[in-house]
Amino acid sequence: MTEPALIEVNGIRLRTWTLGDGPLVILVHGFPETAHSWRHQVAALSAAGYRVAAPDVRGYGGSDAPEPVEAYAMEEMTRDFADLATALSPDPAVIVGHDWGAPLAWNTARLFPERFRAVAGLSVPYAPPGDHAPIDIYHKLFTEKDRFFYQVYFQDEGVAEAELEADPEDSLVKFYYAWSGDAPEHGWPTDKKHGDKVLTGLTRPDLPLSWFTQEDLDAYAAAFEVSGFRGPLNRYRNHRRDHDFLKAHPSNPIIQQPSLFIYGDRDPVLTMFRTPPEKLLPATLADLRGVHRLPGIGHWTQQEAPETVNRLLIDWLRAL
């Protein structure tokens, strides 16, 4: 990717890579990644005739990292991307998100329909707010049964930060491998107890993997050496705040813009949803134009299967 620029949005600056000319497509990464996760898509989409913007999300890499937990609420972060779209194009943009970037993309499209003409998610399907905040559901399903769940573990400020920041390179590569399609069964352990640490039981793989090199790990580790993990983890600490905000917001919870969903059949995220995406999403996305299940692929969808993801995205974009 070319050299990034710091773009002012919503009172902060996002380090953003841009490439190409044409209709704007914003790519929103997840946890624990950076804009580097879109390295294969930036070139492909720009070559297909689009202007592509890949920011480090607030709290990550070279973007600003406010201290307060509430600075990472859905209300704030969706406005980041609306402002970024306004800064980069006078016309409505397309937004694509992966992992935490997927709920951010889905809800940015919901909250700012005038700025976004289409939305795609990878790994995490869209789900309007229900009767209870997700963290309260996780406590019932896991904490009350003395079972470990990483999002519960992430709630206490400073705890996960201390574990992950002790050796960012080791933390990241174990996390990536455990959630990938390359990991063995139970590579992400399911038998841990409440109170265990997130890295307990995770294996460090030998590199390179078919989709991930030492150079990729170096790029991620260097970014987290700068940013630390507090900002990224603060996203998980806003479940109740986000639930209350989205539940009360007057916008239509059924997303109206053309949409697309791509996921891997070995993604642990699938265990968090009782209903398969193919059955879940037609009720929540009014103009769903495809649900694509990628065999053998884990959580890191666009990194593990870049050629397939690029083809699906470009075909969808051209048909808009």
Domains defined along the chain, listed by start: 5-318 (3.40.50.1820)
Question: From CA 195, how far away is CA 204, in angstroms rounded?
Answer: 22
Q: What is the pLDDT of residue 270?
A: 87
Q: What is the pLDDT of residues 129-169, one digit of tens each?
A: 999 999 999 999 999 999 999 999 999 999 999 999 999 99
Identify whether 146 is a catalytic site residue.
Answer: no
Question: From CA 87, how far away is CA 160, in angstroms rounded?
Answer: 35
Q: What is the DSSP letter of 243?
A: H
Q: Retrieve residue 292's tokens.
A: 């694509």
Q: What is the pLDDT of residue 272?
A: 83
Q: What is the pLDDT of residue 164?
A: 98
Q: What is the pLDDT of residue 118?
A: 99
How far, in Å, are 46, 47, 49, 260, 283 from residue 53 at the CA level? 10, 13, 13, 19, 30
Question: From CA 97, how far away is CA 77, in angstroms rounded?
Answer: 13
Identify whether 132 is a catalytic site residue.
Answer: no
Which segments in the chain show pLDDT lower than 50? none
Cβ neighbourhood burial of 91 (10 Å; 0-12, 13-18, 19+): exposed
The catalytic residue among 56, 80, 99, 267 is: 99
Q: What is the pLDDT of residue 1?
A: 66
Residues listed for the chain: 320
